[in-house]
């Protein structure tokens, strides 16, 4: 992935994961990539990959099951749709 210099890398990777949720690559209640998988796929540091998960959790798009991993929230598609509508209204 080619990163844009002025945008934090974790945000850019979170955008990719978010778009995969939106397009159905990751469906509700299915596992999203682990921190280690994100590190390997995007070539970023572990701490940066952890920020991706934290950011997606704060948005309500993923949740973590201890010992199991992180999964797409059942509400994720609706949350993304609402965020897109809010962006359109603001723009």
Nearest to 13 by CA among 64, 73, 43, 24: 43
The residues, ordered by sequence, that sit 6+ positions from 5 with a Cβ below 8 Å of its Cβ are: none
Residue in 42, 19, 27 with CA at minimum distance from that of residue 72: 27
Q: Note the pTM of the prediction, 2 decimals.
A: 0.90
Residues 31-82 have pLDDT tens digits of: 999 999 999 999 999 999 999 999 999 999 999 999 999 999 999 999 998 8
């Amino acid at each position: 992935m080619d990163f844009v210099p002025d945008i934090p890398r974790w945000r850019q990777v979170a955008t990719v994961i978010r778009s995969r949720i939106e397009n159905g690559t990751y469906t509700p209640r299915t596992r999203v990539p682990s921190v280690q998988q994100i590190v390997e796929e995007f070539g970023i540091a572990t701490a940066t990959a952890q920020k991706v998960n934290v950011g997606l959790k704060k948005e309500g798009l993923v949740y973590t099951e201890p010992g199991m991993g992180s999964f797409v929230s059942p509400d994720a598609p609706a949350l993304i749709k609402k965020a897109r509508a809010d962006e359109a209204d603001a723009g």
